[in-house]
Structure 1
Amino acid sequence: MHLRTQDDAVARLQYPADSSYRTPHGLTVHSWKHPEPTGAPVLLVHGFASNTLFNWVKTGWLDPVAGTGRSIVSVDLPGHGASAEVDPSGLRLADILNDLQQTAETAGGRVHLHGYSMGSRISWEFAHQHPQLVGSLVMGGSPVSDDVYQVAPAQARSWARGGPEPADEATRRFITVAAALPGQNLPHVVELRLALAQDPYRPEETVPAVPTLVVAGAQDSIAAGAARLAQLVRAAGAAAEFVEIPGRNHINVLTAREYKQTVLNFLAG
């Protein structure tokens, strides 16, 4: 695990990662290997229009997770971050899940999975299909349906490529969020979300049978009702907990110390 030190302070992880590789469908996998791991690695899956750098590194997640004695694996989804040049047109959720399976198996065959926002929706499906690869699941800022992503595809694609502003208000908000981070390949970011929208998100039909922690900011409208996900897991016979972070929204909850500590406690348990 490649570390840097500053004035004899606690060693911290560097970005870019120790190593990275590209999967068949265009995920870039970043890996930080712990020199003396004491548990299964943590696999991180970022949210819509984000990436490893902005979702996990700049918000301060790497060092606390590494401090648990675990290796860290994080993916940049097609069209995002280090995979910005990958055109997601034609991809389906199954393609992403297949590459995540390869990623988990390469990391050692069993991971603790932590998805955020759109990444949590992907992680939910993955844990349902591959429970043998998932030691535990963290669902952060998770929507409970596709309602928050309902847009006009033709208007979204057009504006992302420099066309006219969408007449549809939801689509206008969608593209504005997609363009928020610097250096975005906006057409590719939008295309991934439209590709994934071809497979409806109905969490009650794909409940994972693994220990699950659901976390949401109290002011996060995208994750409104996320407590229901924990209820679904418990009803299916697995342990599950819902934790709400006071005063936090969909963006700033990622920096919350309480969120991080809740996840660290969950991993320790």
Structure 2
Amino acid sequence: MNALRYPAPESLRTRRGLTVHRWKHSSPTASPVLLIHGFASNALFNWVKTGWLDPLSALNRDLICVDLPGHGASREVNPAGLRMAHLIEDLHELVGALGTPVAAHGYSLGSRIAWQFAYDHPDDVESLVMGGSPVSDEVYQVHPEQARRWAAGGPEPEDEATRKFITVAAALPDQHLQHVVELRLSLAHDVYAPSATVPQVPTLVVAGDRDTIAEGADALADLVASYGNWSDFVSLPGRNHVNALTARTYKDAVAAFLTR
């Protein structure tokens, strides 16, 4: 199969503003892979530029990437008022239209969404990859009004955690900063408690050993195993939250997981 290129040959927009990019394999032999990017990223920077498309396509699967509301090809979508349940509902409708369950792979905030999706709709998700996964809401604690004012062109946040959060939000080119920030603030209304929503599907957890955001992510694999489901944790030596995505070890672990 020829190397995959971006933009994808097919795209569509869901009810709540996710842009869906789809690359169809000429002869698929397994379920599609659904890729969900992290906060302040998008399909292009999280998955395409880091070299994920061709290795996954080589597994004879269709590939589906989503741009979350306010991000990437959905940058103009104002996510104010959106909740996790809205995103999950759109993903459920997307998989229903496909007519087949997916292998879900989320990174960072995308892994949190994938975890909830696999828990709420186990028939939609045949397997789960959790990359760079936070294990609580603690890493996302920010001052909402300071974040909104800065994103709108106001003063730099006085709160240190909020200043770091905004720096991440503004890192990529062509961001709609207000919408990027608003999605995270909207989703902050939903408590992230992984132990209360453990998916009942085979799960691979991957994190860099220098990734402070995903510190303790191995506990997610333990949670899945405690319910009698297959799970594994892979640590990426010398990798942090940003450069973990380019690690060959990460890609090889996912390929082995999807062909096990």
TM-score by length of 2: 0.99
Q: Which residue of 1 aligns with 2:146?
A: 155
Deviation at 1:105, TM superposition (A): 1.8
Q: Which residue of 1 aligns with 2:179?
A: 188
* 5+ long unaligned stretches in structure 2: none
Please state whether the residue corresponding to 1:155 is helix, strand or coil: helix
Q: Is the 8 A contact 1:73 1:107 kept in 2?
A: no
Identical amino acids, percent of aligned pairs = 64
* 5+ long unaligned stretches in structure 1: 4-10
TM-score by length of 1: 0.96
Please state whether the residue corresponding to 1:31 is helix, strand or coil: strand
Residue 247 of structure 2 is aligned to residue 260 of structure 1: no
Please state whether the residue corresponding to 1:132 is helix, strand or coil: coil
How many residues are treated as equivalent by the alignment? 260
Deviation at 1:107, TM superposition (A): 2.5
Alignment partners' CA distance in 2, 1:60 and 1:151: 32
Residue 42 of structure 2 is aligned to residue 51 of structure 1: yes
Q: Which residue of 2 aligns with 1:172?
A: 163
Deviation at 1:108, TM superposition (A): 2.8
Cα deviation per residue 1:45-67 (whole Å; 9 max; x = unaligned)? 00000000000000000000000
Deviation at 1:154, TM superposition (A): 0.4
Give the counterpart of 2:229 among 238, 241, 262.
Answer: 238
Q: Which residue of 2 aligns with 1:23?
A: 14
Please state whether the residue corresponding to 2:76 is helix, strand or coil: coil
Q: Which residue of 2 aligns with 1:226?
A: 217
Q: Which residue of 2 aligns with 1:35?
A: 26
Alignment partners' CA distance in 2, 1:92 and 1:256: 32
Cα deviation per residue 1:216-238 (whole Å; 9 max; x = unaligned)? 00100000000000000000121
Q: Which residue of 1 aligns with 2:196?
A: 205
Deviation at 1:117, TM superposition (A): 0.1
Please state whether the residue corresponding to 2:123 is helix, strand or coil: helix
Alignment partners' CA distance in 2, 1:171 and 1:188: 16
Alignment of 1:67-146 (within 5 A): 67-146=58-137
Alignment partners' CA distance in 1, 2:201 and 2:192: 19
